[in-house]
Amino acid sequence: MNIAMFSDSYYPYVSGVVRSIELFRHELQQLGHNVYIFAPAYRRQTEEEGVFRFPSITAPTNKNFSLALPFAPGVGQKLRDLKIDLVHCHSPFLLGNVGARTARRHNLPLVFTHHTLYDLYVHYVPLFPGLARRLVLGFVRRFCNRCNLVITPTNVVAKRLRELGINAPMQAIPTGLKLEEFANPDNGWLRREYGIGPEEKVILCVARFGKEKNLDMILEAFRLINRDCPDSRLFLVGIGPCEEELRTMAKDMGLASRVTIVGRRLSRQTLTNYYAGADLFMYAAVTETQGIIIGEAQAVGLPVVAVGANGVAEMVNEGFDGFLTAPSAAALAENSLVILQNEELRQRLSSQARESAEQISSTATATRMANAYATLLK
């Protein structure tokens, strides 16, 4: 099959959506299909075969994100030249809308992955968030109901979309994990790199530094943990617009010496070493449709304590590979301390976390996606 994927975000921008596109593209191509990406242009992008860029402008609320100009003269001819069989959109907006219009114009099957709970991101709209939420929900509902198939990363999200009035055919296919990336971590790297003693407990959170990730709650939870467990350390790893705000917050809490903020893009091996050197993964976002990052932590054997909302609730198996909590710093801290203060429990959860990760290999999930495509084409 020849597949065209349209997305409003792609490398060098880093996000869960971008990671999902990258993994599915790689695995689908391994299965013998051709996948072409249509994405915004960035100033520091590298040229990549099969990736077509649209002129773009810098987003006013995030200087690291580009907004594509959704004017597409010639895109239909490009799809004909590439002999595209199917269009898969990863956003309902700018380029997703271009992809959908082009698919309808050329009578191609249209697939959409609902990566994001868009109505929970209206804090990026400076005025009238209530109105913005209603408009976004209506727009997304209409977009989905024009698709031949809507992919959701989890069944929890599929249920939520049905309740919002989306009646298009729907299938839950999670973003998989490239398990070989996590097979040989350097378990001692983190402690060597930062001079961390064997008695110290390391808590890790990997997330985009954006308001929706609730990293202020992570810092507050760590403040409570550190009060009862003074030898604990917190690592926040990611990039995003809230980095300086987080540094200021940690300093104001008197935690500057115990909190390390790693605000740069890391290689997959280095990120794996951060996972492998930690004792616990903590996560507070409530907007996730899946939470790929949780699967990555589990693949290296990290127990997870996370707020049990939306897609995350399906990624953590309560009491098996971690704990799900209420959306509060106190609940996160309490459950984290249960694990950190019981090494036998931590080791058991660690072993079982690896078992959970093995259930969603990227090869298996890409095969499911390819089968869904093939059913549409029939």
Mean pLDDT in order along the chain per 10 residues (378 residues): 97 92 97 98 89 94 89 90 98 96 97 84 56 85 97 93 95 95 94 96 96 96 98 96 96 97 94 97 93 94 96 94 98 98 97 94 96 96
Domain ranges in the chain? 2-176+361-377, 179-358
- The DSSP line for 144-164 is HHTSSEEEESSHHHHHHHHHT
pLDDT of residue 206: 97
Smallest Cα–Cα separation from 296: which of 310, 309, 283, 287?
283
Task: Report yes or no: 108 and 85 within 8 Å, Cβ to Cβ.
Answer: yes
pLDDT of residue 127: 55
Report the alpha-carbon distance of residue 140 to residue 164 in Å, rounded.
Answer: 10
Residue with tokens 């049990």: 308
pLDDT of residue 130: 67
Pairing of strands 56-59, 62-68: antiparallel
Sheet bearing 51-54, strands edge to edge = 51-54, 34-40, 2-6, 86-89, 110-113, 149-152, 170-172
DSSP letter, residue 279? S
pLDDT of residue 126: 54
pLDDT of residue 289: 87
Report the alpha-carbon distance of residue 318 to residue 35 in Å, rounded.
Answer: 37
Domains 2-176+361-377 and 179-358 equal at CATH topology level: yes
Task: Report yes or no: 208 and 17 within 8 Å, Cβ to Cβ.
Answer: no
Task: Report yes or no: 233 and 198 within 8 Å, Cβ to Cβ.
Answer: no
pLDDT of residue 44: 81
DSSP letter, residue 12? T
Q: Which fold has domain 179-358?
A: Rossmann fold (3.40.50)
The four Cα atoms 156, 160, 165, 170 give a dihedral, to 10 degrees, of -20
pLDDT of residue 94: 96
| Superfamily classification of domain 2-176+361-377 | Glycogen Phosphorylase B; (3.40.50.2000)
